[in-house]
Amino acid sequence: MTTEDTATDPPTVVRVTDIDVVRQGRLLLDSVSMTVRGGEHWALLGSNGAGKSTLLGMVGALTHPTRGTVEVLGRTLGRVDLRELRTSIGHVNPRHPLRSSLRVRDVVLTGLTNSVEPVPRWSPPAGEPERAGRLLSMLGMAGKEDARWPTLSQGERGRTLIARALMARPRLLLLDEPATGLDLAAREQLLSSLDALRALHPGLATVLVTHHLEELPASTTHAMLLREGRCVATGLADDVLTTDQVSKCFDHPVRIARTEGRWTARAERVSPAEALPPE
């Protein structure tokens, strides 16, 4: 616990302090800071190249910052074995590189070994296959335990991967554009599953990357807007996801509304005269 924490505060899960990230001479993140506490659900938004995935890589203990400090689950990057730290972080990547025809249950169980394929001659501890089934049921995948990975829809794969990430009982769950490639129904099923998951695990912290406000679950509590590697706004979701802030972040006039917990973004109308190029 740091001097900024009190006995009544939820524990700090992530603390990013004034980080810069430089790769091949390019400044990808510029003086970015954020603090994520247990039970908070963060959204990282911005256009392509804004730095969202780069920041998620820091939070997920995949890479180090060029300057500044990143603390994850009380451990400081640069002073800890990243492979060991990653075993305590749930990471959901819709581009999961599985190629074989595993059953859904076996895909979920690879979350215990942090591997893509089952580890040879490894058997799950007693009770873990049953827990995998319960997680699948919670995420709307009951009855799909024996389905083969290639037969799943993109939405079913996404929910399977969330169950897989939860097998290690993480305190931090990272979701990298989980709604990518989903149709409307599959997206809504996924977001409902995330809301249910967060309600059932009140101490879990999550960080979700997306381009689209419509892909944010209603349970989102905090947000950060990134533009060209810099933080435009950060804090409580209702304070950050406003018409002015989002328009500034995406450099385009949009109108933001929130209805029944969900956000929508609509482009401001442009008059015909404004749309015509100058003569």
What pLDDT digit, counting tens, does each position of 69-112 carry?
999 999 999 999 988 888 889 999 888 999 899 999 999 999 99
Sorting pLDDT into bands at 50, 70 and 90, what band is 44? very high
Predicted local distance difference test score (pLDDT) of residue 31: 97
Average pLDDT rounded to a whole number, residues 46-75: 94
Q: Among candidates 162, 170, 166, 160, which has minimal Cα distance to 106?
A: 160
Q: What is the rounded CA–CA span in Å between residue 266 and residue 214?
A: 11
Average pLDDT rounded to a whole number, residues 126-133: 95
Predicted local distance difference test score (pLDDT) of residue 87: 86
179 secondary structure, DSSP code: T
**Residue-wise pLDDT tens digits, 138-167:** 898 999 999 999 999 999 999 999 999 999
Predicted local distance difference test score (pLDDT) of residue 114: 87
What CATH class is the domain 12-239? Answer: alpha beta
Predicted model pTM: 0.88
Rounded to the nearest 10 degrees, what angle do helices 154-166 and 128-138 cross at?
130
Tokens read off for 263 = 């956000």
Rounded to the nearest 10 degrees, what angle do helices 104-113 and 128-138 cross at?
120
Predicted local distance difference test score (pLDDT) of residue 95: 85
Given a cut of 70, whether residue 248 has pLDDT beyond it is yes
Predicted local distance difference test score (pLDDT) of residue 5: 57
Given a cut of 50, whether residue 172 has pLDDT beyond it is yes
Average pLDDT rounded to a whole number, residues 194-221: 94
Q: What is the rounded CA–CA span in Å between residue 108 and residue 129?
A: 9
Given a cut of 60, whether residue 279 has pLDDT beyond it is no
Predicted local distance difference test score (pLDDT) of residue 3: 46
User: Mean pLDDT in the chain?
Assistant: 91
